[in-house]
Homo-oligomer: A and B are copies of this chain.
Amino acid sequence: MTWKLAKNELDQDQLLVNESLLALGNGYIGVRGNFEEGYGDDLKSIRGTYINAFHDETKIKYGEKLYAFPDQQQKLANVIDAQGIDIFLDDEHFNLFEGKVVNFNRTLHIDEGYTSREVHWVSPNGREVKVNFNRLVSFSRKELFAIQVTVEPIRNVQKVKMVSTVNGNVTNYVEKGDPRVNSEHAKLVALGDARVVGDYRIVQVSTMNTNLSAACVTSYTAKASESIVDSGVIRDTFQFEAGSGPIVLTKKNVYTDTLRHGDDVVSRGVELQRELASFDHLLVEQKYYLDEFWKIADIEVQGDQRLQQGIRFNLFHLLQSVGKDSVSNIAAKGLSGEGYEGHYFWDTEIYIFPFFLMTNPEMAKSLLMHRYSTLDHARNRAKEMGHEKGALFPWRTITGPESSAFFPAGTAQYHISADIAYSFIQYYLVTKDVSFMQDYLAEVLFETARLWVDTGHMKDGHFRIDNVTGPDEYTCIVNNNFYTNSMAKYNLDWAYKIYQELDDKAKTDIQDRIGLEVGEVLAWKEAADYMYLPYSEKLGINEQDDTFLSKKVWDFDNTSEEDYPLLLNYHPLTLYRHQVCKQADTVLAHFLVEDHQDEETIRRSYDYYEKVTTHDSSLSYCVFSIMAAKLGYKEKAYRYFNETARLDLDNLHKNTKDGLHMANMGGTWLALVYGFAGLRLKEDGLHFSPVVVEEFGQLSFHIKFQGRTLKVELSDKFVHYTVMEGESLNIHHIGKGVQLEPGQRKSFTY
């Protein structure tokens, strides 16, 4: 069962959660796991279909609006709903919340890429039927969302009627009282068109302000007895006689939008409809695509089926969510819900990117290219924020403009610029792609390095960066956040280094392109060399910022379970005033740039910060797992990993209904590969410092690195490395250089 997720709940809370868990997507479109026929009026559903990056802009209201607060916020739009299919047995409405459910199973087929919903049901008047819904969002045909319904009458059924809808009258979900969810502007798209043309049902919508259009062109494998267009909804009725075996209807919906398909989204949708295959063929295609994916991406563990399921579930959803074209990225909730408005955060670079980088470098590059496409926005934002030069990437955005409405935990998180620079560097370390370095990496590094020099300043022999917010959002607007300064130092060091690596032509080229002066490059070096990294002599740890350790420690003993997450129960000032962390901050810096500090400082820091961290952010467990593994705290590493692997499956953060926690899903991969296998990417290649974890029994995975495919296996006594594809490779195993020959399995003890 580790390739499946099976669900059969019918209660309100879990129905909403399952809508996220059973969401299907392919990085372009995403469809929540709603019931085709809905739940009826008594139960709430967050019914949603999304196109990655397809967004409207709404005005941000402020009680008090200050200079350079963003005016507009981008929001991912819920688009045309093609999920609707109602079934009638002699006019009795098929509905799981009436009659008798003899059997009910929903399954996400992680290896095959589709969901099934199997129901054996007896109606209130005794009509018995088996119904099966198979759903698929195709990886090979990105515009396609297909549903196949099979109805098998068992008893007392004469006629079966299906009423299928395509609905252009959709709104976004709105919820008050949770700052992580949209609280107004439900209506983001207006109906443009809804009509039947030959075999095609065509619905088109347009955003209210951004002038984007999306279309859904739908076809059926049966002939409708009636097609009605009413108020933006196309309703097709299909009539069947019972008695001659199962009744099957397939509904294929093609989604197109302005961002990918140009202005005539409808024509393009019709064209794509003409090329579609049968549902069975789609399943085969899907399996083929996923076989290729899992060949590299899968991570096998032994001993704990629940963990194995969590790992695969999480990696599968990453694949389903990641944008694979130049206009999209991966949203905090992927395409599985509306939480965080479909925005892209640093989650991409720090938590999710490494998985793609080392299993599918093309997808990783696409993520970088999307960021690169927003560089002009980042340059403008830096100017708005009072900087003479440089690029300040937005804390949250879709196409590039800052969409954060609360700057202390938004724009103030300057570290995102270093995080993005970091991911560009990681890509270069893995690919050694020199033209990428010259064309993109240099520019991103130089513009972000400029930001740091303009933001900070030399004082008493230190380069200080004042008034920023680090990853920990329970401590905002501080001086010399250790994480930020560490990442900025890395950014500046690499900017200097890459400048030296450029050949003369490339140097001239970039100097012309961004007006770079040599004096600037020296300033980067100086800032990096003198970067202030707070350290407490007394405790022997890195201080999270200039004054974190002077604050009162949060009274954890007198904080009850219901008070978590603290952000929903305490004013930010109360949080800021205490030593209490929402998530890994200094500990994360120690993971990402471990060479800045000695291991004992890292250990003492871990011990200290672990005590004051609530993990109210889903970005926390995985980092603590990784660092616990590094420090030999195996039991902790395993425990934190469990939280990571099962966070959405077990709804540990209680908000999975709003969408899946993508960063944590990426963190699952990180915890295995960077945590237990102890991988680090350094200039001299791959370093492994694996730790044995008894609970796993065994752990094996593949990574791609500089043209090779490397298989890594951890068992209870040995670690095995095998170059599966490509040339020989030098790696480091626990600090020692090792040469791996192709095809040869080399084994080491821990």
List chain A positions with a Cβ less than 8 A from chain B.
60-70, 73, 179, 183-184, 384-386, 404-412, 455, 457, 459-460, 464, 466-468, 476-477, 479, 546-547, 550-552, 567-574, 576-577
* Residues in B neighbouring A64, C-beta threshold 8 A: 179, 404-406, 409-410
* Residues in B neighbouring A576, C-beta threshold 8 A: 466-467, 477
CB–CB A552/B466 < 8 A: yes
CA A408 to CA B410, docked complex, whole Å: 14
Smallest Cβ-Cβ distance to A68: which chain B residue: B571
Q: How far is the CB of A584 from chain B (nearest CB, A)?
A: 21
CB–CB B479/A550 < 8 A: yes
Smallest Cβ-Cβ distance to A464: which chain B residue: B550
CB–CB B567/A66 < 8 A: yes
On whether A67 and B568 interact (CB within 8 A), knowing A405-B62, A467-B573, A479-B547, the answer reads yes
CA A729 to CA B63, docked complex, whole Å: 51
CB–CB A406/B66 < 8 A: yes
* Residues in B neighbouring A455, C-beta threshold 8 A: 577
CA A550 to CA B69, docked complex, whole Å: 26
CA A568 to CA B68, docked complex, whole Å: 9
* Residues in B neighbouring A410, C-beta threshold 8 A: 64
CA A67 to CA B576, docked complex, whole Å: 13
* Residues in B neighbouring A460, C-beta threshold 8 A: 550
CA A2 to CA B233, docked complex, whole Å: 76
Smallest Cβ-Cβ distance to A410: which chain B residue: B64
Smallest Cβ-Cβ distance to A578: which chain B residue: B466
CB–CB B459/A550 < 8 A: yes
Question: Could you give 26 example pairs across A and B, Cβ below 8 Å?
Answer: A61-B62, A62-B62, A63-B70, A63-B406, A64-B404, A64-B405, A64-B409, A64-B410, A65-B183, A66-B567, A68-B570, A384-B571, A385-B573, A385-B574, A386-B570, A386-B573, A411-B571, A411-B573, A457-B551, A460-B550, A464-B550, A468-B573, A477-B576, A479-B550, A479-B551, A546-B547
* Residues in B neighbouring A568, C-beta threshold 8 A: 67
Smallest Cβ-Cβ distance to A569: which chain B residue: B67
Q: How far is the CB of A57 from chain B (nearest CB, A)?
A: 13
* Residues in B neighbouring A464, C-beta threshold 8 A: 550-551
* Residues in B neighbouring A466, C-beta threshold 8 A: 547, 550-552, 576-577
CB–CB B407/A572 < 8 A: yes
CB–CB B407/A573 < 8 A: yes
10 closest pairs, A vs B, by CB? A63-B405, A61-B61, A386-B574, A64-B406, A68-B571, A60-B63, A457-B552, A467-B577, A467-B576, A64-B405
CA A247 to CA B42, docked complex, whole Å: 74
CA A236 to CA B134, docked complex, whole Å: 77
CB–CB A571/B405 < 8 A: no
CB–CB B385/A571 < 8 A: yes
CA A547 to CA B406, docked complex, whole Å: 23
Smallest Cβ-Cβ distance to A403: which chain B residue: B63
* Residues in B neighbouring A65, C-beta threshold 8 A: 179, 183
Interface core residue of A69, A386, A567 (most chain B CB under 10 Å): A386
Q: How far is the CB of A527 from chain B (nearest CB, A)?
A: 13
Q: How far is the CB of A140 from chain B (nearest CB, A)?
A: 39
* Residues in B neighbouring A552, C-beta threshold 8 A: 457, 459, 466
* Residues in B neighbouring A60, C-beta threshold 8 A: 63
Q: How far is the CB of A3 from chain B (nearest CB, A)?
A: 39
Interface core residue of A67, A184, A568 (most chain B CB under 10 Å): A67
CA A253 to CA B122, docked complex, whole Å: 78
* Residues in B neighbouring A412, C-beta threshold 8 A: 573
* Residues in B neighbouring A547, C-beta threshold 8 A: 466, 479, 546-547
CA A404 to CA B62, docked complex, whole Å: 11
* Residues in B neighbouring A457, C-beta threshold 8 A: 551-552
Q: How far is the CB of A533 from chain B (nearest CB, A)?
A: 15
Q: How far is the CB of A617 from chain B (nearest CB, A)?
A: 15
* Residues in B neighbouring A468, C-beta threshold 8 A: 573
CA A95 to CA B531, docked complex, whole Å: 68
Smallest Cβ-Cβ distance to A550: which chain B residue: B459
Besides A464-B551, A546-B546, 18 more A-B contacts (Cβ < 8 Å) are A62-B62, A64-B179, A64-B405, A64-B410, A67-B567, A67-B568, A385-B573, A386-B573, A408-B477, A411-B573, A455-B577, A457-B552, A459-B550, A459-B551, A467-B577, A476-B477, A479-B550, A479-B551
Smallest Cβ-Cβ distance to A64: which chain B residue: B406
* Residues in B neighbouring A551, C-beta threshold 8 A: 457, 459, 464, 466-467, 479
CA A574 to CA B73, docked complex, whole Å: 22
* Residues in B neighbouring A184, C-beta threshold 8 A: 61
Return the contact of A66 from the options B62, B70, B572 (Cβ within 8 A): B572
CA A455 to CA B573, docked complex, whole Å: 10
Return the contact of A408 from the options B386, B404, B408 (Cβ within 8 A): B408
CB–CB B67/A570 < 8 A: yes
CB–CB A571/B63 < 8 A: no
Return the contact of A62 from the options B63, B459, B567 (Cβ within 8 A): B63
CA A577 to CA B571, docked complex, whole Å: 23
Q: How far is the CB of A27 from chain B (nearest CB, A)?
A: 27
Interface core residue of A384, A576, A577 (most chain B CB under 10 Å): A577
CB–CB A63/B61 < 8 A: yes
Interface core residue of A66, A550, A573 (most chain B CB under 10 Å): A573
* Residues in B neighbouring A476, C-beta threshold 8 A: 477
